Amino acid sequence: MTTPDLTGSTLTDRTPAPGAATWTFRTLLILLVLDLTYLVNAMDRQVFAILLPDIKQAYGLTGNQAGTLSTIFTLGMGLAGIPAGYLADRIGRKRIIIGSLLLFSITCALQATAAGIVDLTLWRILSGVGEGAQNAALYAAVGAYFHRNRAVAIGSINAAFGLGAFAGPLLGGALLTSTGSWRVPLYVFGAIGLVILVVVLFAVPRSVTEIGRHGEPRTTSAPGGAVRFFNRRVICCTIATVAAGFTIYGYLGLYPTYLRETHGFASDQVALAAGMFGLGALTAVFCGFFADRFDQRLVNVAGFAAIAGCGAGIFVFGTTYPAQLVFSLLLGVAFTGVVYTNTSALIQRSVPSAKVGRATGLFVAAMYIPASFSGYFFAATKSGFGWQTAGVIQLCAIPVVGLVAMAAMGKARD
C-alpha cells in the first residue's frame, strides 16, 4: 500500500532505516538528482559576476554600488537560512527544496527585466532567499539520510556546486559573447532551474528527504548522548562560518573586475579564471572522506590556512594568467572542498538529529548574512588602499578569525 506524497511522489508505509548505511544504485541516483539542484544554484549564483561589468555600464553604477550588488543576494540567503531550516524540520525538506527552486529560478530570469538598480537589487535579494532556503533544506536532507557518511555526501553537493560554478561563468560568458546581451544568460539559467524542479518533483521520494525529521535516534557528540542546540561547538562553527563567508563572497563578487582592471585579461580569460574556483570544489567528495575520519578542527585549520595562502598568491604573487588559474583552483579546493564541506558537516554533528535543519539554517545565516556586506567592504577597501592591500585583508587577514574559532572548539565526535 502506498501513501500519496503531496510534493509529487509516493512512499510506502514501511519506514526506512534512519539513514543510508550503504551506497546503492538507488541512493546514488537520488543523491545525483539532489546534487543537480545545487549545480543549478551555483550556475545562477556565479554567472552574475561575469555579467557585472556590463551591468555596471548599462546602469551607470559606481564601484561601491557594483560591489554591493554583486553580493547582496547573500543577504537574502542569510535571512532565509534560519526560517527555512526551522520550516524544513516542521513541514518537510522536500517542500522547501521545491519551493526554493521555483523562487530562485524565476527571480534569476526577472533580473534580466530590471528597469534600474532598485528592482535589480530586489530580484537579487529574492533570488538569494530561494537559494538560502534550498541550501538549508538540501543540506539537512542529505546530511540526515547519509549520516554515516555525512561529509562525503555533503561533499558531493559541494562538488556539484563546483561544477556549476565552473560551468556557469563559461556558459554565461559564451552566451554573452554570442548574443551581445547580458540579459540572455539570466533567462537561460532561470529556465534550466525550472526543468530541474520537475525532475526533483518526481524523482526524489520524501522517504529520503525526511529521514531524522521526527527525531530518529543517532549518536551525538555530547557526553551521555544529550546535547543542547547552542553548545560550544555550534558557536565556534558559527564564528568560523562567518569568517569564511565574509572572506570568500566579497572576493568572488569582485574577482572578475580585479582581473579586468589590474591585469587587462579578456572576458573569456576572466570567465575561465573565475570558473577555476568552481573546478576546485570538485574535490569536495575527497575532502569529505577525510572529514568523516579525522579531527575536523584540524581539517578546518588546514583549510583556513590554505585560503590565506591562496589570497597572497592571487593578489601579491600571481602576476601571470596561468598563476591566476592555479591559485583560483586551489582557493576553490580550500574553501568549498575543505572549509564549507567540513564546517557544514560538523555543525550538523553537534546537534540532535531532529534539529539538523535548524543547525543547517544557522550555518546558512552565518555564511551569507555577513557575506552580503562583504562586497561593499572589499570595494571600499580597494578604493582606499588599492587592489593588492584590499585583497590581502580580504583573503589573508579575515581567515585568522576562523583559525581562532577552531582553536577554541572542543573535540567533536559523531
Average pLDDT taken over every residue of the chain: 82
- pTM of the full predicted structure? 0.72
Mean pLDDT along residues 223-236 = 70
Quote the cell numbers at residue 10: 509516493
What whole-number distance in Å separates Cα of residue 403 and Cα of residue 412?
A: 16
Q: Judge whether 99 and 191 are in contact, CB under 8 Å.
A: no
- Percentage of the chain modeled with pLDDT above 90: 29
Q: State the amino acid at position 247 in one-letter form.
A: T
* pLDDT confidence band for 214 (50 / 70 / 90): low
- Please, which residues have CB within 8 angstroms of residue 371's CB and are 6 or more apart in sequence? 71, 74, 77, 78, 245, 246, 248, 249, 250
Q: What is the pLDDT of residue 1?
A: 38
Residue 72, pLDDT > 90, answer no
Q: What is the pLDDT of residue 212?
A: 66
pLDDT tens digits for 142-195? 877 887 777 788 888 888 887 887 788 888 888 998 998 999 999 999 999 999
DSSP for 42-101, written as a single string: HHHHHHHHHHHHHHHHHHT--HHHHHHHHHTHHHHHHHHHHHHHHHHHHH-HHHHHHHHH
Q: State the amino acid at position 176 in one-letter form.
A: L
Check residues 413 and 104 and name the one with the higher pLDDT: 104
Q: What is the pLDDT of residue 322?
A: 92
Class of 25-407 per CATH? mainly alpha
From 17-21, 115-119, 251-255, 322-326, the region with the lowest mean pLDDT = 17-21
Q: What is the pLDDT of residue 20?
A: 53
What whole-number distance in Å separates Cα of residue 163 and Cα of residue 402?
A: 26
Q: Where are the domains of the chain?
A: 25-407
Q: Judge whether 332 and 279 are in contact, CB under 8 Å.
A: yes
Phi, psi (deg, nearest 5) at residue 323: -65, -40
Phi, psi (deg, nearest 5) at residue 215: 90, 30
Check residues 10 and 332 and name the one with the higher pLDDT: 332
Q: What is the pLDDT of residue 43?
A: 85
Q: Judge whether 206 and 5 are in contact, CB under 8 Å.
A: yes
**Measured torsion, CA atoms of residues 105, 111, 117, 122, in degrees rounded to the nearest 10:** -30
Residue 219, pLDDT > 60, answer no
Mean pLDDT along residues 238-259 = 89
Check residues 308 and 223 and name the one with the higher pLDDT: 308
Mean pLDDT along residues 58-71 = 82
pLDDT tens digits for 350-366? 887 777 778 888 898 89
Q: Where are the beta strands (DSSP E) in 57-216?
A: none
pLDDT tens digits for 306-341? 999 999 999 988 788 999 999 999 999 999 889 988
Q: What is the pLDDT of residue 227?
A: 56
What whole-number distance in Å separates Cα of residue 373 and Cα of residue 63?
A: 14
Check residues 244 and 208 and name the one with the higher pLDDT: 244
What whole-number distance in Å separates Cα of residue 20 and Cα of residue 147?
A: 7
**Closest C-alpha among 169, 166, 87 to residue 134:** 87
- The angle subtended at Cα 11 by Cα 9 and Cα 15, nearest 5°, is 150
Radius of gyration of the chain (CA): 20
From 80-84, 206-210, 332-336, the region with the lowest mean pLDDT = 206-210
Q: Judge whether 8 and 102 are in contact, CB under 8 Å.
A: no
Specify the DSSP class assigned to residue 1.
Answer: -
- Percentage of the chain modeled with pLDDT above 70: 89
- Rounded alpha-carbon distances, angstroms, from residue 337 to 99, 329, 362, 364: 27, 11, 20, 17
Residue carrying the nine cell digits 556590463: 54
Q: What is the pLDDT of residue 19?
A: 53
Q: State the amino acid at position 220 in one-letter form.
A: T
What whole-number distance in Å separates Cα of residue 28 and Cα of residue 348?
A: 21
Residue 2, pLDDT > 70, answer no
Check residues 335 and 254 and name the one with the higher pLDDT: 335
Q: What is the pLDDT of residue 411?
A: 66
Residue 216, pLDDT > 80, answer no
What whole-number distance in Å separates Cα of residue 276 and Cα of residue 245?
A: 18
